[in-house]
Amino acid sequence: MIRFEPRLAPSRVMVYGAPILAVCFTLVAGAMLFSALGYDPLNSLYLFFIQPISDSYGLTELFLKATPLTLCAVGLAVGFRGNVWNIGAEGQLTMGAIVSGAIAVTWYDSTSMFLLPIMIIAGVLGGMAWAAIPAFLKTRFHANEILTSLMLTYVATLFLGYLVNGPLRNPEGFNFPESRMFGDAALLPLLFDESRLHIGALITLFVVLLGWFIMSRTLIGFQVKVVGLTPLAANYAGFNPKKVIWMSLMLGGGLAGLAGMFEVAGPIGQLQPVISPGYGFTAIIVAFLGRLHPIGILLAGTLVALSYLGGETVQMELSLPLAVTGVFQGMLLFFLLACDVLINYRVVLGFKRKAA
């Protein structure tokens, strides 16, 4: 018989131990999944987790994928701390890509050095504008932001589909649903030759540090935390919950928009019907796995990026479906939520003494 007994104080060890434990459980469950499918579990796990990053190109790909995940998750985590459940980062990312991409396509022959900075600002503003809708509907009409931000994701994706099939379709592209390729001035500079890793990865590192500083050292971060933990105490302190809703959605939307801009001006180089394999959704997992802490999110983003690469590797080597990635990500989040119970509870084995 296993029981959970409340701890007197939350366990410091488990705050950091739980994510590691969750990763271990995921590995075990993954091994079981692979062997159930008739594959050698150790070899499969090797292919999934080690093989993809065994050379330098693999490593650059890892950070390339970690970039949008981390960016989105840092923004979402601020909201989650403040009890603002923006789950529409995917849509905000798409909007950032659309707005910055539209600029790149309109001035496709520009060589101006200002094009890229303008695209970055446009991407951020695009994401923000899309996140402003749920913020407005929440603060003005109390409409649930979970549902509105998610519905807007579908709208954004369809809007992108409309654009690449219509107004922004490449006139010389044989009716393929794609935009023109961006000009060189609209592409992010690469960090290494022979790789796709771009300067956005460095900007992301800077954003992570900034996010950490804001959340732990400023009154703004303190306000978000108080509003999220105890709305009544926030009232008492005189913090405005509406301001926190706006702030966290603007931050989440802006960073997701930036991530979208990085994708189209980085590895993709044009507008396509699909520009993200669900980065905006997966960022939710990354945010939780990283303990809603920017530095933790950076580590978690890298780990989850690996699940994308691993999924591609086992698809090629074992001809398993790409959906393995989603299964792994889902399992990881489940195990993490379950392991979190150990922060406030300890496991006790054996029966409880009954009354005599």
Partner 1 sequence: MRLELSGITKAFPACIANDHVNFNVEAGEIHALLGENGAGKSTLVKMIYGIMQPDEGEILWEGQSVTIENPGMARKLGIGMVFQHFSLFESMTVLENVALGINEKGPLKELAKRIVEVSDKYGLPLDPERYIHTLSVGERQRVEIVRCLLQDPSLIIMDEPTSVLTPQEVDKLFVTLRRLREEGRSILYISHKLDEIKALCDRATILRAGKVVGDCDPSKESARSMAQLMVGEEIKIPARNPNAKVGEDRLVVENLSMSTDDVFVADLENVSFTVKSGEIFGVAGVAGNGQNNLLSMLSGERLSPNDEAIRMDGLSVGHLGPHKRRKLGLAFVPEERLGHGTVPEMSLADNTLLSGHGVSDLVQMGFLRFSKAHNLAKKIIEAFDVRTGGSKSEAKSLSGGNLQKFIIGRELLKSPKLLIVAQPTWGVDAGAAASIHQALMNLRDEGCAILVVSQDLDELFAITDRMAVISHGRLSPARPTHDTTVEQVGLLMGGLFDQVDAWDEEAQR
Partner 2 sequence: MIGFEVETIIAILLGVARGATPLVFAAIGELITEKAGVLNLGVEGMMLVGAVGGFIAVVATGSPTVGFIAAMLAGALLSALFAVLVLFLHTNQVASGLALTIFGVGVSAFFGLKYIGTPIKGLQAIDIPGLSDIPIVGPLLFGHDIMVYAAFVLVAVTAWFLNKSRWGMILRAVGESHHAAHAIGYPVVLIRFCAILFGGAMCGLAGAYISLIYTPMWAENMTAGRGWIALALVVFATWKPGRALIGAYLFGGVTILQLNVQSLGLDVSGHLMNMLPYIATILVLVLISRDETKIRLNAPACLGKPFRADG
Burial class (CB in 10 A: 0-12, 13-18, 19+), 297: buried
Nearest-approach distance from CB 252 to partner 1, in angstroms: 21
Q: 3-class SS at 22?
A: helix
CA 285, 290, 296: angle at the middle one, nearest 5?
150
Closer of 204 and 329 to partner 2 (Cβ): 329
Q: Which residue has the tokens 């990312």?
A: 93
CA dist 168 and 336 (Å) reads 42
Residue type, 45: L
Q: Per the structure block, which two tokens stand in for 97? A: 């890509």
Tell me which residues in 238-267 interact with partner 1 (CB under 8 A): 238, 240
For residue 166, give the DSSP letter.
T
- 146 interacts with partner 2 by CB under 8 A: yes
In the shown chain, the binding pattern of residues 156 to 175 toward partner 2, with x for contact by CB under 8 A and - for none, equals --xx-xx--xx---------
CA dist 15 and 231 (Å) reads 24
CA dist 68 and 255 (Å) reads 9
161 binds, among partner 2, partner 1, none (CB under 5 to 8 A by kind): partner 2
- 28 interacts with partner 2 by CB under 8 A: no
Q: Per the structure block, which two tokens stand in for 258? A: 């930036």
CA dist 290 and 225 (Å) reads 16
Q: Binding partner 2 by CB under 8 A: which of 288, 290, 305, 310?
A: 288
Interface with partner 1 (CB under 8 A), residue total 26
Interface with partner 2 (CB under 8 A), residue total 45
- 327 interacts with partner 2 by CB under 8 A: yes
Nearest-approach distance from CB 10 to partner 1, in angstroms: 8
Q: Binding partner 1 by CB under 8 A: which of 32, 42, 237, 322?
A: 237
Tell me which residues in 336-355 interact with partner 1 (CB under 8 A): 353-355
- 229 interacts with partner 1 by CB under 8 A: yes
What are 229-238's contacts with CB under 8 Å, separation 24+? 231/83
CA dist 124 and 76 (Å) reads 14
CA dist 71 and 60 (Å) reads 17
Closer of 56 and 218 to partner 1 (Cβ): 218
Nearest-approach distance from CB 232 to partner 1, in angstroms: 4
- 217 interacts with partner 1 by CB under 8 A: yes
In the shown chain, the binding pattern of residues 69 to 98 toward partner 2, with x for contact by CB under 8 A and - for none, equals -----------x----x-x-----------
Stretch that binds partner 2, among 19-27, 188-196, 233-241, 321-329 (CB under 8 A): 321-329
Q: Are strands 345-349 and 2-6 parallel, antiparallel or unpaired?
A: antiparallel
Contact set with partner 2 (CB under 8 A):
4, 6, 80, 85, 87, 137, 141-144, 146-148, 150-152, 154-155, 158-159, 161-162, 165-166, 281-282, 284-285, 288, 321, 323-331, 333-334, 337-338, 340-341
